[in-house]
Amino acid sequence: MEIILSSIPGGLAFWLQLPGGTSLLGLAPLLFIFAIFYFLLILPQQRKQKKWQLMLSELKNGDKIVTSGGLRGTIISLKDDALTLRVPPDNLKLEISRASVVSVTTAEEGTKS
């Protein structure tokens, strides 16, 4: 470590040396690991959360949705934090929370499967 710091100009070596005998160069692996976690885990999760919030804000009557419990139905009314679904085959009306909506399916997707 002394060889590395001795090759650095005096003023810069002083700033790279911390009081406990450690250097900022020792923190580089930790910063690198944090950057990896941020770009591989945190950033994609934030993007997914924003996309999901946008999908929830754009729900409207007549949309076909899938809930987190696997229910598939058509929205017949919307409230602030809840919505009412019509679920086939008996046209049951169910009230569910907006947070349980996982995806919105289109008519084309429903006819393909």
pLDDT tops 90 at residue 72: yes
**Predicted TM-score (pTM) above 0.85:** no
Contact 104, 60 (CB under 8 A): no
pLDDT tops 80 at residue 61: yes
Q: What is the mean pLDDT of residues 56-82?
A: 94
* In a shared domain, residues 78 and 43: no
For residue 70, count CB atoms less than 10 angstroms from its CB and return exposed for 0-12, middle for 13-18, buried for 19 or more: exposed
Q: Tell me the pLDDT of the chain averaged across its residues.
A: 83
Q: Please state the domain count of the chain.
A: 2
The domain boundary residue, chosen from 56, 83, 102: 56
Q: What is the domain-level CATH number for residue 64?
A: 2.30.30.60
